[in-house]
Amino acid sequence: MVKLEQMAKKELKMTAVPDPSTEEKIMAAARTVFLEKGFAATRTRDIAEAAGINHALLNYYFRSKEKLFQIIMLNTVKQFFSSLSVVFNNPETSLEKKVEEVANYYINLLTAHPDIPLFIMTEMKKGAKDLMNQVGAKEIVMKSVFIKQYQQAVKEGKIQKLPPVHFLMNVLGLTVFPFIASPMIKGLVDLSDTEFTSLMQERKKLIPIWVKMILKAT
């Protein structure tokens, strides 16, 4: 271990200052490994191997697995909610258009990174719930133009009188849940990964229609 640390220090001296590209390489590798294995099953040695660096160098940049995980988890949750804020707070788009944009955004995001929702839910269940406060998720959603438009539509009798949380669960459930349940769905109807992706692309058009039917005033 001493020799490894000396090698790491020697490598860092050659660069004079910590190399941002090395940090980025470690972060990218850590994200991949954490998403695949979760926090408990991941070793820092796994991350170092995935990043193509020695273990001591990883420890120089990030002192512990816990610290690195907190950064990855925070960034992942931020990614999940950041674009949502832009969509939800656009005063120029209608409620219906926002539903369409949310479906498009999340299906595109989760097609590229299908492990994100299960990773977030699993790790938050284990004790990372304060991350929601750190990224301001409640303010992003519950104080948004999106919610105000929903409440106004209810007031005007255009849609059913339901608490906004039901509306949010319907939109996110229709969009996000299929990715969480994808192994079961693929197994039930013998779908390949490509066929599942095509199915999710179809949902971009279907989800706004379904949500409109659910909310239709009676």
Structure-token pair, residue 211: 């949500």
pLDDT at residue number 97: 93
| Per-residue pLDDT at 178 exceeds 90 | yes
**DSSP string spanning 180-217?**
HTHHHHHHHHT--HHHHHHHHHHHHHHHHHHHHHHHB-
Task: Identify whether the C-beta of residue 41 lies closer than 8 Å to the C-beta of residue 92.
Answer: no
pLDDT at residue number 1: 47
pLDDT at residue number 129: 57
More confident residue, 11 or 182: 182
- Could you give the percent of the chain with pLDDT greater than 90? 42
| Per-residue pLDDT at 15 exceeds 60 | no
pLDDT at residue number 52: 92
**Residue-range domains of the chain with CATH:** 2-63 (1.10.10.60), 72-215 (1.10.357)
Instruction: Please state, in angstroms and rounded to a whole number, the distance separating the CA atoms of residues 174 and 158.
Output: 22
> Is 156 in a helix, a strand, or coil?
coil
CA-based R_g, the chain, Å: 21
pLDDT at residue number 9: 47
Token match 């849609």: residue? 159
pLDDT at residue number 217: 60
| Per-residue pLDDT at 185 exceeds 80 | yes
pLDDT digits (tens, 9 = 90+) for 54-113: 988 998 888 888 889 888 888 888 877 777 888 899 999 999 999 999 999 999 989 988
